[in-house]
Structure 1
Amino acid sequence: MRMSMDEAFVGDDIAIRRITGYLERMVVVVQELQSLLMDVKKGVDTQIFYDEIRPWFKGVDSDTLGRTWVFEGRDEVEGWEEMPEASGASAGQSSLIQALDIYLGVDAEAPETSFMSHPSNKSFQERMRAYMPRHHRAFLNHLKANPRPLRELVERAVEEDHGSPILGAYNAALKSLKEFRDAHMIVVALYIIGPARRAGKGSATEDETEDLKGTGGTDLVKFLKGVRDQTADTYLRG
């Protein structure tokens, strides 16, 4: 990404060719990430995850009973301030996934909508950045502040040369990210939706499934479908 940003600053034909190569390499990397994600099936039992592991991932904004975490020993910490919100562990806290979205120009930062309901006005991605290491947040902010975004560079290159290979490379990178999100939805179906239905003895309706909460407080299914569709909507036409 850093090299692409440097090349985008130059923006000449040589830079465009190099960025095209970087995007082609990115496709391979994201495909490897997808393969690693699906490997979870080899070592994690779906029912054990749902019954014994996932409950510990719940945060204040995803617990249906409204329970909060109690931090033992907090009275012994000088200057302790109660956390206004403590979300559970979420894939949204991965700086890598957010970096891919920002770099490729996926509009995953939109205000909370029907598939990202939350009392605050912040986007889910913005809230999750609070849980990242400081340097990771700084890198994402640096990407967002890039005065020459990749998507605009691709659009300009296509306008100047309709046969530019950068368009295919850019769309291929988006396609790999969309397929990664498809795989994520498969994992969610196996490890969360399926066990939730079994816990309800198969009585869970489609609407009830849609209302499942993610560990980060999102409307799980609606949110995942939403960001996947946003990724697909980012494709460019020549």
Structure 2
Amino acid sequence: MEEGVENPAKDIMDTEGLLSINLSDFHVSQRVGFLLEKPLAELPAYFEPWNQVCSRMPELVMQHRLRQEVDKMDVLDHHKLQGYRQLRLAHLQLSFISAGYIWQDGDKGVPEKLPRCLAVPWCGLSKTLGIQPVLSHSDLVLANWTTVDPDSPLALENLRCFYTLPGGGEADWFITVTVQMELDFAAALKPVVSALKYAENSNAEKLKICLTQITDVVRKMKNSLERMHDNLSADTFYNTLRPFLTGWGGEGSPLPEGLVYEGVSDTPIQMNGGSAAQSSTLQTLDATLGIVHSEDKQDFLKKMRMYMPPDHRHFIETLEQRSKIKDFVKSCSCQALTAAYNDCVTAVVVFRSYHIQIVTKYIVGMSNKATRNKEYESVSKKGTGGTSIMPFLQGLRAATSACIMHTADGQVGD
């Protein structure tokens, strides 16, 4: 069945008389998780200008010719797109092209307006899809993947992206490693949904099994994240690739008021750039395990949900409303269950610690080097999502660690 743009959640009763979450109602897949199933690589012939410019985006940017090519483009009618996958691909293409258009000449060369030929269809598609007109995780990763060999397993070496950013094969690797972590997380979705049910009916033994399965997935995600070092240098990420994931607006931005989307709004619009917080994976874990962050960090995480496909943010919200896992573990005298919960939370802490190490290498360390690219000073130490990145990530880790429970004898769970 063709995947819809937005499908409200449906709660149905399971055989035990409990409300059961149906993943398909949120367009979440047990096979590929939050990734788009079978995304498209090209649009129909009418949209060939988008196909061509997006596929050539890195080379055109490096030649400082992308704006010249965009200026030749007509305003294409996005209403001619058919089906959800065409809508997602078109949004992806316009996001890549627009990022190149804005950032090809560095901070000092940013235009104050995005031309009508990009702005009108991009904003129209954003409204239809319920996501934002900026290059975000939903474009860069979720709709931008396929397999090299469709008959081989879904493994990192068998993944490739359709479209990429400046940085050559290293940019491809950044995208595909992130795709792999999304694929890893798919195995946690069924245990997450089952865990909610077992907490609701006080089944400690089955809940413990689910938590152990989720823990294994989080550890696998960390192993995949470790692969980032294999083929991505800090220099390429920081100086070549990263600027194109940046948003616009706010203090320190070369476009402090935001960007004017010509033909859509005469008032500048501010947008956060791509951020790991736009992935539904860790926000799903937080919601499931009852991890609550400080108000300012929670506000930012909720803001990042507006960059997710609507059904995915509704999934997270449903988990937040439904999950009684943390409360049940606290009230239960089963030390084995407490230990399983603590192991799961600890796995998330370890993942967040490793993410901090990645950020230290690829962003913080590079920002202190005299060799950094001075054309993009506005993103020197901030995350592409716009936060002061280290305090933010350290705060998330601290709040996660604080959820580790002590048993009745005063000890941390086994």
TM-score range normalised by the length of the shorter chain:
0.7 to 0.9
**What's the counterpart of residue 184 of structure 1?**
355
**What's the counterpart of residue 305 of structure 2?**
129
Structure 2 segments unaligned to the other structure (5+ residues): 1-191, 373-379, 408-414
**What's the counterpart of residue 153 of structure 2?**
none
Are positions 1:8 and 2:199 aligned together?
Answer: yes
Size of the alignment, in residue pairs?
A: 206
**Among 387, 393, 400, the residue aligned to 1:218:** 387
**What's the counterpart of residue 326 of structure 2?**
151
Tell me the amino acid that sits aligned with residue 209 of structure 2: G
On the 8 A contact 1:62/1:218 being kept in 2, the answer is no
What percentage of residue pairs aligned between the two structures are identical? 27
Q: Could you tell me how far apart the structure 2 residues matched to 1:6 and 1:237 are?
A: 24
Tell me the amino acid that sits aligned with residue 131 of structure 1: Y
Q: Could you tell me how far apart the structure 1 residues matched to 2:361 and 2:283 are?
A: 24
**Among 20, 24, 31, the residue aligned to 2:219:** 31
Q: Which runs of 4+ in 1 moved over 6 A?
A: none
Tell me the amino acid that sits aligned with residue 271 of structure 2: A
Are positions 1:101 and 2:286 aligned together?
Answer: yes
Q: 1:153 to 1:61 in 2, by over 3 A?
A: farther
Tell me the amino acid that sits aligned with residue 65 of structure 1: S
**What's the counterpart of residue 119 of structure 1?**
none
**What's the counterpart of residue 227 of structure 1?**
396
Are positions 1:20 and 2:208 aligned together?
Answer: yes
Bigger radius of gyration among the two: 2
Q: Could you tell me how far apart the structure 2 residues matched to 1:104 and 1:199 are?
A: 42
Shift of 1:225: 0.7
- Relative to the length of structure 1, the TM-score reads 0.80
Shift of 1:192: 0.4
Shift of 1:27: 1.1
Bigger relative contact order, structure 1 or 2 (CA pairs below 8 A, ≥6 apart): 1
Shift of 1:60: 2.1
Q: Could you tell me how far apart the structure 2 residues matched to 1:66 and 1:58 are?
A: 11
Shift of 1:62: 6.6
On the 8 A contact 1:212/1:219 being kept in 2, the answer is yes
- Relative to the length of structure 2, the TM-score reads 0.47
Tell me the amino acid that sits aligned with residue 295 of structure 2: P
Structure 1 segments unaligned to the other structure (5+ residues): 117-121, 202-210
**What's the counterpart of residue 111 of structure 1?**
295
Alignment of 1:36-185 (within 5 A): 36-61=224-249, 64-67=252-255, 68-69=258-259, 71=261, 74-75=262-263, 80=264, 84-108=269-293, 110-112=294-296, 116=297, 123-146=299-322, 148-157=323-332, 161=333, 163-185=334-356
Shift of 1:24: 0.8
Q: Could you tell me how far apart the structure 2 residues matched to 1:166 and 1:22 are?
A: 10
On the 8 A contact 1:23/1:170 being kept in 2, the answer is yes
Q: 1:177 to 1:83 in 2, by over 3 A?
A: farther
Tell me the amino acid that sits aligned with residue 145 of structure 1: Q
Shift of 1:83: 7.4
Tell me the amino acid that sits aligned with residue 312 of structure 2: H
On the 8 A contact 1:62/1:88 being kept in 2, the answer is no
On the 8 A contact 1:31/1:176 being kept in 2, the answer is yes
Tell me the amino acid that sits aligned with residue 292 of structure 2: D
On the 8 A contact 1:62/1:87 being kept in 2, the answer is no
Shift of 1:61: 4.8
